[in-house]
Each structure stands twice: as structure tokens, then as C-alpha cells.
């Protein structure tokens, strides 16, 4: 991580990459314009006539008021000519925002604090992909208008922010993101834009606490790799991407006995998963115990019944009630004896003991 400091009057210097313990620092969140100050500008002491230089003066002044000397700005603290440095920065960025002593949000399209709540809520800052993690990660977030005057903090503005973004106020107040299902977090990102297609996936790495190399030019395949990374992380924990919906009361038991058949489970905002994972991931919720189950089609092999017919994934998701434990377990929808089996055992059981009509409910 490189940090900026003021050097004399109107100049700045950027550090070499810092390792180990860092001094307390401020961090800037903003939307990029056409004249941003780059790493090369800082090194060569150029770019002072660029519009983005105002942002550097702003964060330097505000950090000094808060008794912070170093600060970080994404436009000029990353040497983007180094692919290794860029990859490390993007994979570390959530943590860098999380560890910042203060995060200052500069809203270039909100002229003054008196512009009102509607101007604040209309800011394009709320529509950008990268600003999602910049909102969620830091404990201290302060919003400033284009004239560099303070509008309010994330805590003070949580109602307007939640209404604008769809993010629960509990998430804005520091609740662990792992308490929210994949479906919920993915919904927060829906509709946000980035300049590069790949960044629509890369900007979510920290939100899902995953890491992966950057391959600019891969296009929408970045979503496929993001889905794989999310699933692999979940499998290292509980072998599934499977969480209680934080918007509902937790189930009183992990072994819900609801007969789960077609039409009982609701697909949660499947458009989010279709667009981000090419239809490879779905999320469904039990109407009784509110467990959500999100899986890709590659997670569990399909059982083959008489005639070689494979049980459709939609049937697997909706009829085999999952339970939370140290490992994945499923209940057979036909036996109704409550026996829980790992998927490989369940697949063998279905193939040996049941017919298509018993499992799929039709001929």
C-alpha cells in the first residue's frame, strides 16, 4: 500500500509500498472524472492544473483537521503500469478502506450541504460499482459536498442511504457482511455501473471476502470466476452457499419438516444471479423456516433414474430440504423419515430406491 503526504505548499509525495503496521490514515471515496491526478503525475510533480487536484487538496486539508497526516487516493496511490501492484490493490482494497481511520466521500454532484436530501440521494456516487465496498467497509464515513463542506456521517444519514441503496441499516452500522446471504449482498450491487465490464465482478471481491487474479479482457467471464470463488469459499466452510436471510427471524430448528414441493419455494431475484453468473446460480428460500440455499449447477451431480433421465436441478433445489451443520446434508422428499444424508449418499439412495414419479412428482 502506498500513502500520500503533503510536501510543502501545494505538492504531494507518494511513498514506496508499505509493509507491516501502517500509521493511521485517511482514505478518499469519490467518482472518477476525466482529469484525475495519476501516480505518474505525483512522481513527476505534474498534473496541478487537472480538476482532480482539488480532491487531493481537500483530503489533505480534512485529514490535517482530523490530526491525520498520510492519506490514500485510488487515482494516484496505485502504479497501474504494474499488473502485480494493481492486482494486489484491488484484492486488498476492501481491507484498506476497512482499516482507514477516516473515509471521506467527496460528492462532486452535490453542490452544497444545503442542496438537500434529494440531491444527496440522487448522487451518482450511489450508482457506481466500486463505491459499494467504500460505503460498507469503513467504520467512519463522512460525506462532503462539492464545495468541500460536511454533509453528514454514514450513521447520521443511514436512513437516506438505506432507502437509496436497499442496504439494511444494520449493514451500514457495522454488522458483519457474512451475516447477509449471497442473494442479499448481490442485490445491493444490482444496477451499479463500472467503466470496465470486468470491474463489475472485481469490485465485489471484498464484499464476498474472496480473492482472484485480474484478467482484463475476459469480459463477463469475470462473473463466472467470481461465482466459483464465492462457492469455493463457502465449500471450505460448510460445503454450500447457504445462510439465513437476515431480514427474517431465524428458524427455531435446523431441521424444518416442511414438505417441500414445486411452488413452495420462491426464487429470490433470479435476475441478479442470471446476469452475474450466466444462469449458473440460483437462490431459493423455504417459506417456513426461511433458510436460503444458493448453488451453482456444478455443485451436486444429478441423480440418474430409470431410462437415464436426470433429476432436474430445479427439483433438487426445491425438494431436497437442506440443513445447516458442519457438512451439507439433505432429506429425501419421498421417504419422509427425516434421515439426513450427504449428497453422494443421497444420490445413490435416490437411484437405487426411488422412481421418477416419487422424486419429480410426475410421469
Q: Look at residue 248 in the predicted model and tell me its pLDDT.
A: 38
Angle made by CA atoms 143, 11, 106, in degrees to the nearest 5 = 10
Beta bridge partners of 323: 329
Q: Look at residue 272 in the predicted model and tell me its pLDDT.
A: 46
Q: Look at residue 321 in the predicted model and tell me its pLDDT.
A: 56
Q: Is residue 211 helix, strand or coil?
A: coil
- Which spans in the chain are helix H? 39-43, 53-65, 83-99, 117-122, 131-136, 158-165, 169-172, 182-189, 199-202, 221-237, 270-277, 313-319, 343-353, 356-360
Secondary structure (DSSP) of 150-179: EEEETTTTHHHHHHHH---HHHHTT--GGG
Closest CA to 294 of 269, 312, 275, 311: 269
> What is the C-alpha R_g of the chain?
24
**What are the tens digits of pLDDT across the range 82-138?**
999 999 999 999 999 999 999 999 999 999 999 989 999 999 999 999 999 999 999
Q: Look at residue 42 in the predicted model and tell me its pLDDT.
A: 96
Q: Is residue 73 helix, strand or coil?
A: coil
Q: For residue 246, count other CB atoms closer than 10 A to its CB.
A: 16
CB 63 within 8 A of CB 71: yes
Residues of the chain with pLDDT under 50: 239-278, 280, 290, 297-298, 324-327
Q: Look at residue 284 in the predicted model and tell me its pLDDT.
A: 53
Q: For strand 102-106 and strand 26-29, is the pairing parallel, antiparallel, or unpaired? A: parallel
Q: Look at residue 267 in the predicted model and tell me its pLDDT.
A: 44
Q: Rounded to whole angstroms, how far apart are CA atoms 107 and 123?
A: 7
Amino acid at each position: 500500500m502506498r500513502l500520500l503526504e503533503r510536501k510543502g505548499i501545494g505538492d504531494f509525495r507518494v511513498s514506496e509500498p508499505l509493509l507491516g503496521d501502517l500509521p493511521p490514515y485517511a482514505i478518499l471515496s469519490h467518482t472518477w472524472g476525466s482529469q484525475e491526478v495519476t501516480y505518474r503525475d505525483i512522481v513527476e510533480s505534474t498534473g496541478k492544473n487537472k480538476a482532480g487536484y482539488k480532491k487531493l487538496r481537500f483530503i489533505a486539508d480534512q485529514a490535517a483537521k482530523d490530526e491525520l497526516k498520510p492519506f490514500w487516493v485510488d487515482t494516484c496511490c496505485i502504479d497501474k503500469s504494474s499488473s502485480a501492484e494493481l492486482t494486489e490493490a484491488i484484492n486488498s482494497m476492501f481491507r484498506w478502506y476497512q482499516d482507514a481511520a477516516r473515509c471521506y466521500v467527496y460528492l462532486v454532484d452535490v453542490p452544497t450541504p444545503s442542496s438537500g436530501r434529494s440531491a444527496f440521494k440522487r448522487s451518482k456516487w450511489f450508482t457506481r460499482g466500486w463505491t459499494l465496498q467504500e460505503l460498507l467497509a469503513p467504520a467512519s464515513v463522512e460525506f462532503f459536498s462539492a464545495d468541500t463542506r460536511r454533509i453528514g456521517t454514514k450513521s447520521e444519514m443511514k436512513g437516506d442511504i438505506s432507502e437509496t441503496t436497499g442496504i439494511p441499516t444494520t449493514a451500514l452500522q457495522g454488522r458483519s457482511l457474512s451475516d447477509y446471504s449471497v442473494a442479499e449482498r448481490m442485490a445491493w450491487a444490482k444496477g451499479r455501473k463500472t467503466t470496465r465490464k470486468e470491474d463489475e465482478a472485481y469490485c465485489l471481491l471484498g464484499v464476498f471476502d474472496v480473492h482472484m487474479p485480474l484478467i482484463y479482457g475476459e469480459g463477463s467471464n469475470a462473473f463466472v470466476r467470481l461465482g466459483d470463488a464465492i462457492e469455493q469459499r463457502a465449500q471450505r466452510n460448510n460445503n454450500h452457499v447457504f445462510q439465513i436471510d437476515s431480514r427474517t427471524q431465524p428458524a427455531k430448528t435446523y431441521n424444518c419438516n416442511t414438505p417441500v414441493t414445486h411452488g413452495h419455494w420462491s426464487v429470490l431475484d433470479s435476475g441478479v444471479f442470471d446476469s452475474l453468473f450466466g444462469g449458473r446460480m440460483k437462490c431459493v428460500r423455504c417459506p417456513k423456516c426461511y433458510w436460503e440455499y444458493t448453488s451453482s449447477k456444478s455443485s451436486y451431480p444429478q441423480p440418474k433414474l430409470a431410462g437415464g433421465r436426470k433429476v432436474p436441478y430445479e427439483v433438487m433445489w426445491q425438494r431436497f430440504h437442506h440443513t445447516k451443520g458442519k457438512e451439507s446434508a439433505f432429506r429425501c422428499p419421498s421417504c419422509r423419515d427425516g434421515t439426513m444424508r450427504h449428497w453422494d449418499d443421497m444420490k445413490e439412495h435416490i437411484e437405487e430406491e426411488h422412481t421418477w414419479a416419487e422424486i419429480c412428482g410426475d410421469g
